[in-house]
Structure 1
Amino acid sequence: MSYPPYGPRELGRTGVTVPPLGLGCAPLGNLYRAVSEERARDVVRTAFATGAAYFDTAPHYGLGLSEERLGRALRGRDRAAYTLSTKVGRRLRPLAPGETVDGQGFVDTPARARVRDLTRDGIRATLDASLARLGVDAVDIVYLHDVEHHLPEVYATGFPALAELRDQQRVRAIGFGMNRSDVLARLVADLDVDVVLCAGRWTLLERTAFDDLLPVCARRGTSVIVGGVYNSGLLADPSPGAPYDYAPAPRALLRRARRLAAVCAEFDVPLKAAALRFPFGHPAVAAVVVGAATPEEAGQNAELFTRDIPDALWHTLVERGLLAPDLPLPLTAPGA
């Protein structure tokens, strides 16, 4: 499947390439609802069939369940046929007898607990455990995960440990994954970061990353993977009660999302298709990753991503005050 007008892009200067649409694998770890083993496998198969063969996972997702299921679904595949990323910063350990933990949104998870660990040995042990669950010798990208409240440890041991793994060629690209674009901007400015995964801050509703993160990435040659393009669901279905940033959407944002949907409808473009395409207006963006709990969802995301979107839609959104005039637009005819 083609992704006009976008093809695979290199992350920084690493030689790692990603297709423009990737699969976020949190749902494979039973995020909010249980997913069967068969359904998880079919989601991965659909991603391959549609060309979305970049898979992003983490130990945090289902306390290792996402990695385990993804590993089983990838078994037997040509390792060169897909790009794989996971995360470090949370080490997993077995539960003690009688111990319970907060699933943090994940249900029916293995009997494990998360432990924040940004030490050199902890980073290496976390990655080794992920490789074992995934059943691979190496991943292409490793992100430090949700470390915005642990920056002293990041600078002292966490990032140096990742840089060492990159120097040893155990991993090809390294970076950070979180939804705080201001913190990501600081880290990219200070450190030799290949790629960041920024969730929810560069969307049809959110320009935060445009103001702080994206200029630094463009200057430093750091690639950006965009997650959370639907802003937790508001841009997927802007109905009353829709979530935004994991909480009920404020009324003003709900009204704006509904106005965005109405303009998209004038051009016969689903709001979700516009949300998927919008981040590519900025040249630092290499890909978007979107979760799917069913093969139908994965197939729909791919179909939406390939929709023709006329440049007139983007210009109309600017004219009606729904996009700021200084924002870069994903035009098919740049300069038009």
Structure 2
Amino acid sequence: MSVGSGAGGPVLPGHTLGRGAVFVTALGFGGAAVAGLYEDVGEEEAAAAVEAAWDAGIRYFDTAPHYGLGLSERRLGAVLRSKPRDSYTLSTKVGRVLEPYDGGGDDRSHGFAVPATHRRRWDFSADGVRRSLADSLTRLGLDRVDLVLLHDPDDHEEQAFREAYPALEDLRAQGVVRAIGVGMNQTRMLARFVRDTDVDAVLCAGRYTLLDQGALDELLPAASTAGTSVIVGGVFNSGLLAAPVPGATYDYAEAPDSVVRRALRMQDVTESQGVPLRAAALRFPFGHPAVASVLVGARSAGQVRDAAEQFHRFLPDGVWEALRRQGLLAAGVPVPERRTS
């Protein structure tokens, strides 16, 4: 890991993405939660969470138009505009264009406790990519973002490869953005992007966690071969690995009882080693050398400070060995090297 620099205190260690020069701290701030994911978050609480991330040394912030119908971008921009622009890395996403909507109601059907002021329209055309980025910059109140990701092109695969990706390549070549990539909750298409394009990074959500190592089959080996960086999102599988209780969220829905039981067994094992489950879950992805950063979503300053504490926590080798003995972690799965900070 290399160490970044910037105003505001010590900066967490991190990596540059791919073969480029875009630096991300190993712990990044995921912007969905401050946009009312699952429940309302007030303006002051959201701003305090972003400021707490800055104070903790986080210098990588990720957002998207999808998050709260643009609310995440507006809230991150409001705080980051007060920071030296060259001292942090910001990513946003394209693929959903927001269009005004006056039908009333809320956005809870998409997971966000915000008024339904806009509608999302899928658009992976070249024009859609450019329009989405321009709209994002307006909401952010910034003149640039560093990394742009195609967002969830699951049902638009060929258009994403044929139209959206070349548009991102052009934006990078023109210097409008410094790095490009794709963010998804699946691994097959991410692996295709790694093999068949020149993306700098991919954001893999929920598929490289203590409960799901699907990314090990194809994506992570391909990324290592290509020199592409992997950013891991959803490290808590949308909540269960942070607090394994009945009714907890797993992959954006209520967790099945069998998965809750497995998470509870993991918690028993890690706590027997003096380690909270969320600390093991947060650090686990760094066992693979292709992983550059882990994004953690937080809706409050307290949650940010807890994430930073778990990131720095000492994890004895016995944690991983105990999980293997209990059949909760396969023998061939890589685990992080021991470190004390």
Q: Do these two structures clear the TM 0.5 threshold for a shared fold by scoring above it?
A: yes
Query: What pairs with 1:96-245 in structure 2 (closer than 5 Å)?
Result: 97-98=102-103, 102-103=107-108, 104-109=110-115, 111-245=117-251
The 8 Å contact of residues 30 and 109 in structure 1, kept in 2 or not, is answered as: no
Of 48, 58, 61, the match for 1:42: 48
Specify the code of the residue in structure 2 equivalent to 1:301: A
The two structures, once aligned, show a CA RMSD in angstroms of 1.6
* 1:247 partnered with 2:253: yes
Deviates more, 1:169-178 or 1:316-325: 316-325
Q: Deviations over 1:255-311 (max 9, x none)?
A: 221111111111110000000000000000001001111111111111111100011
Q: Which runs of 5+ in 1 are unaligned?
A: none
Specify the code of the residue in structure 2 equivalent to 1:325: A
Specify the code of the residue in structure 1 equivalent to 2:212: E
Secondary structure of the structure 1 residue equivalent to 2:270: helix
Partner of 1:20: 26
**Structure-2 separation of matches of 1:101 and 1:234:** 25
Q: What is the CA-CA distance between 1:102 and the residue it aligns to?
A: 4.7
**TM-score w.r.t. structure 1 length?**
0.94
Specify the code of the residue in structure 2 equivalent to 1:88: V
Query: What pairs with 1:1-20 in structure 2 (closer than 5 Å)?
Result: 7-20=13-26
Q: What is the CA-CA distance between 1:110 and the residue it aligns to?
A: 5.9
Of 304, 320, 326, the match for 2:326: 320
The 8 Å contact of residues 223 and 286 in structure 1, kept in 2 or not, is answered as: yes
Specify the code of the residue in structure 1 equivalent to 2:129: I
Structure 1 segments of 4+ aligned residues over 4 angstroms from their partners: 99-103
Specify the code of the residue in structure 1 equivalent to 2:84: D
* 1:93 partnered with 2:137: no
Partner of 2:71: 65
The 8 Å contact of residues 2 and 306 in structure 1, kept in 2 or not, is answered as: no
**Structure-2 separation of matches of 1:53 and 1:300:** 17
Of 270, 274, 277, the match for 2:276: 270
Relative distance call for 1:229 and 1:291 in structure 2 (3 A) is same
Q: What is the CA-CA distance between 1:101 and the residue it aligns to?
A: 7.2
Q: Which runs of 5+ in 2 are unaligned?
A: 1-8
**Structure-1 separation of matches of 2:58 and 2:332:** 31
Partner of 2:265: 259
Secondary structure of the structure 2 residue equivalent to 1:301: helix
Aligned residue pairs, count:
330
Secondary structure of the structure 2 residue equivalent to 1:113: strand
Identity %: 52
